Homo-oligomer: A and B are copies of this chain.
């Protein structure tokens, strides 16, 4: 299995601290792999709320088409962590985000993800262009990738 290269801290401009919960941890005493997706999902949606995109009455709406995570380091409940967020590609009707979880003060991510949103028409639920406002706002989160 080829492991992806970790994307270091300096590739990101947007960071948001996030709490870990007691029952995020499984019997191995580390944060369970499924929990990282809750943290990434929350961060994407909080960022979208901050910039006012794809909210309740916005057309189009976005649905998640793909979510993936590579794990590099174990995380404990007591670790202080933050989720970094960048956008890799802005497609006609899709957005590919690159979330990552960092321990505060570390350059290497503990885990990094890929999160793909597809814009769909609120009524037909068919893919539709994300629109020029979304393109303009999302360009602010694009980072160079390898």
Contacts and interface: CB of A to CB of B under 8 A. Distances in A.
Interface stretch (A5-13, A26-34, A100-108, A134-142): A26-34
A37 interface: yes
- The copy count of this chain in the complex is 4
Interface residues of A, number: 43
A51 interface: no
A33 B67 contact: yes
B39 A37 contact: no
Contacts of A52: none
Interface of A: 1, 3, 18-19, 21-23, 25-29, 32-35, 37-39, 41-42, 45-46, 49, 63-71, 74, 77-78, 89, 91, 94, 96, 114, 116, 118
Given A21-B38, A21-B41, A65-B70, 18 more contacts: A1-B89, A1-B94, A3-B65, A19-B19, A21-B42, A22-B41, A22-B45, A23-B23, A23-B32, A23-B38, A26-B26, A33-B41, A34-B67, A37-B37, A45-B77, A64-B71, A67-B71, A68-B68
